[in-house]
């Protein structure tokens, strides 16, 4: 669990006893700040926008009051949670099932990559809440596998990523089919200007609960930046991973690069794998399970695939490719330093990525940030050949400095 409040208990938030038993089963003792602020408002019937850092406990902040609302009511689909990725869909549903285990409520998932008939069969066995990706949810609606007639509460989770991934047309199609009388919630780690349009359309009168400032990185994370030439990154990463004993999540920007780097690390004998959108649902689930259980310690991921990774003990996040936007950097680094623990984020910065690096560094002023003055004394420089020259095409050995070292000095 993320950092908690000391003066509030879950029992004091107005949750029913079956839900409190689920909270205890999940191992939660006291609510986090966003949970303590959001849950009573939602239980009171308010529409709400919840903004908090990755790892701040947002799933319980909307999941517990939804279960509380539905507990003891008639069976049937009454709660809808819309998420951007398959991995996040599975993760949210698993958490809700733990919370709901004493409440007699059934949580199902709907996402692409698996046979629709399997999901339809699960709906028929019992469905009170569906956690769904937009496209597959529309598919089930059009086939009349589910009905929104009795829906009481709708949640948009990871709203910023919904917009980034182009889901707005699907979201609008879903919302026009929902009952007029319903409670709307929106949760997100960041709140770029584009999401404000989404808020104005669907939650114009919503209350806001904001933990920290917008696009804020958790205080428990230290940030390091290493300057290295692009063609030296692979060797720099391998040297870094050889020093690590815990779980490491490695980010790249493209699916093809993700698969390639994962294969390179595996061929080097490292316990590594990759997860990205071109892998099937079953393969992606297997990757996450192996990473969660520690069988795979190094996981290479794209931003979209990583949205469902909810592992509390990731010791290090590596930006192999520097993120293309500040919000992406915040999301990536938020995969470590969860549950109030300390975490580390390390970025390999090529000269062409310096502009993006400067934006992030300016945003992180006042936090634990350092730029290593010499990549050659850490992981940044490639191994040297016998002749004193670095492998991978770096600059001269001896008294000269390599291009990677020149880059490091400039950062």
User: Residue 404 above 60 pLDDT?
Assistant: no
Judge if 204 and 236 occupy the same domain.
no
Here the CATH number for the domain that contains residue 286 is: 3.40.50.300
Judge if 190 and 322 occupy the same domain.
no
Judge if 253 and 151 occupy the same domain.
no
Q: Shortest CA distance to 374 belongs to which of 235, 222, 226, 234? A: 226
Q: Supply the pLDDT for residue 297.
A: 94
- Of 156, 183, 210, which residue constitutes the final position of a domain? 210
48 inside domain: yes
Per-residue CA distances from 20 to 33, 98, 152, 405 (Å): 18, 11, 21, 56
Q: Model confidence over 319-362: pLDDT tens digits?
A: 999 998 887 888 888 888 876 678 999 999 999 999 999 989 88
Mean predicted confidence (pLDDT) in 92-103: 96
1 inside domain: no
Q: Supply the pLDDT for residue 194.
A: 66
Residue 131 lies in domain: 11-210
Mean predicted confidence (pLDDT) in 164-177: 85
- Of 210, 235, 252, which residue constitutes the final position of a domain? 210
Q: Supply the pLDDT for residue 371.
A: 64
Judge if 69 and 93 occupy the same domain.
yes
Q: In what order do the strands lie in the sheet with 129-132?
A: 107-110, 129-132, 79-82, 153-157, 183-188, 48-51, 207-210
Q: Which residue has the tokens 């003792």?
A: 29
290 inside domain: yes
Judge if 229 and 198 occupy the same domain.
no
Banded model confidence at residue 258, pLDDT cuts 50, 70, 90? very high
Banded model confidence at residue 7, pLDDT cuts 50, 70, 90? low
User: Residue 59 above 90 pLDDT?
Assistant: yes
Judge if 155 and 304 occupy the same domain.
no
| Alpha-carbon span 61 to 155, nearest angstrom | 11
Q: Supply the pLDDT for residue 188.
A: 84
176-181: long-range contacts at Cβ-Cβ below 8 A with a sequence spacing of 24 or more? 177/141, 177/148, 178/80, 178/148, 178/151, 178/154, 179/148, 179/149, 179/150, 179/151
192 inside domain: yes
Q: Supply the pLDDT for residue 3.
A: 46
394 inside domain: yes
User: Residue 300 above 60 pLDDT?
Assistant: yes
Judge if 321 and 366 occupy the same domain.
yes
User: Residue 292 above 60 pLDDT?
Assistant: yes
215 inside domain: no
User: Residue 381 above 70 pLDDT?
Assistant: no
Judge if 148 and 196 occupy the same domain.
yes
- Specify the higher pLDDT residue, 379 or 309: 309
Q: Domain count of the chain?
A: 2
Judge if 247 and 343 occupy the same domain.
yes
Mean predicted confidence (pLDDT) in 40-46: 96
| Alpha-carbon span 82 to 92, nearest angstrom | 10
Judge if 202 and 299 occupy the same domain.
no
Mean predicted confidence (pLDDT) in 357-369: 81
Q: Supply the pLDDT for residue 394.
A: 35
- Of 180, 210, 240, which residue constitutes the final position of a domain? 210
Judge if 180 and 279 occupy the same domain.
no
Mean predicted confidence (pLDDT) in 273-296: 85
CB atoms within 10 A of CB 404: 31
Q: Supply the pLDDT for residue 377.
A: 39
200 inside domain: yes
Nearby residues of 57 by Cβ (< 8 Å), 6 or more positions away: 1, 2, 31, 32, 34, 35
- Specify the higher pLDDT residue, 137 or 305: 137
| Mean pLDDT, rounded, of the chain | 83
Q: Supply the pLDDT for residue 287.
A: 87
Judge if 366 and 308 occupy the same domain.
yes
Banded model confidence at residue 211, pLDDT cuts 50, 70, 90? confident
404 inside domain: yes
Q: Supply the pLDDT for residue 105.
A: 97
Q: In what order do the strands lie in the sheet with 369-371?
A: 272-275, 298-301, 247-251, 314-319, 343-349, 221-227, 369-371
Q: What is this structure's pTM?
A: 0.67
User: Residue 408 above 60 pLDDT?
Assistant: no
Q: Model confidence over 8-38: pLDDT tens digits?
A: 899 999 999 999 999 999 999 999 999 999 9
Q: Supply the pLDDT for residue 163.
A: 73
């Amino acid at each position: 669990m993320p950092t908690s409040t000391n003066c509030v208990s879950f029992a004091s938030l107005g949750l029913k006893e079956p839900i409190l038993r689920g909270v205890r089963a999940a191992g939660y003792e006291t609510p986090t700040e966003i949970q303590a602020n959001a849950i009573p408002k939602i239980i009171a019937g308010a529409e709400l926008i919840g903004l908090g850092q990755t790892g701040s406990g947002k799933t319980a902040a909307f999941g517990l009051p939804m279960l509380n609302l539905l507990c003891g009511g008639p069976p049937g689909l009454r709660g809808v949670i819309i998420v951007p990725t398959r991995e996040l869909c599975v993760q949210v549903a698993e958490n809700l099932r733990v919370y709901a285990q004493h409440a007699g409520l059934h949580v199902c998932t709907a996402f692409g990559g698996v046979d629709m008939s399997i999901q339809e069969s699960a709906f028929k066995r019992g469905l009170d809440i569906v956690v769904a990706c937009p496209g597959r949810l529309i598919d089930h609606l059009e086939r009349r596998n589910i009905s929104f007639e009795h829906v009481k509460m709708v949640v948009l989770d990871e709203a910023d990523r919904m917009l980034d991934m182009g889901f707005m047309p699907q979201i609008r199609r879903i919302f026009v089919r929902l009952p007029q009388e319903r409670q709307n919630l929106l949760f997100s780690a960041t709140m770029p200007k584009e999401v404000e349009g989404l808020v104005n359309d669907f939650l114009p009168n919503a209350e806001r609960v904001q933990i920290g400032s917008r696009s804020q990185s958790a205080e428990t994370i230290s940030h390091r930046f290493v300057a290295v030439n692009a063609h030296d990154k692979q060797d720099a990463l391998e040297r870094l991973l050889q020093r690590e004993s815990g779980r490491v999540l490695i980010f790249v920007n493209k699916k093809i690069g993700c698969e390639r780097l994962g294969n390179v690390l595996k061929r080097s004998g490292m316990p590594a794998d990759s997860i990205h959108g071109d892998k099937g649902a079953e393969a992606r689930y297997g990757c996450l399970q192996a990473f969660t259980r520690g069988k795979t310690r190094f996981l290479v991921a794209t931003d979209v695939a990583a949205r469902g990774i909810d592992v509390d003990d990731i010791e290090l996040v590596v930006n192999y490719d520097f993120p293309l936007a500040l919000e992406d950097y915040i999301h990536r680094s938020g995969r470590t330093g969860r549950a109030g623990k300390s975490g580390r984020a390390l970025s390999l910065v090529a000269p062409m990525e310096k502009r993006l690096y400067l934006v992030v560094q300016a945003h992180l002023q006042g936090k634990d940030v350092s730029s290593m003055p010499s990549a050659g004394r850490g992981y940044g420089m490639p191994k040297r050949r016998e002749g004193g020259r670095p492998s991978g095409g770096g600059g001269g050995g001896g008294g000269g400095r390599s291009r990677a070292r020149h880059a490091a000095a400039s950062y």
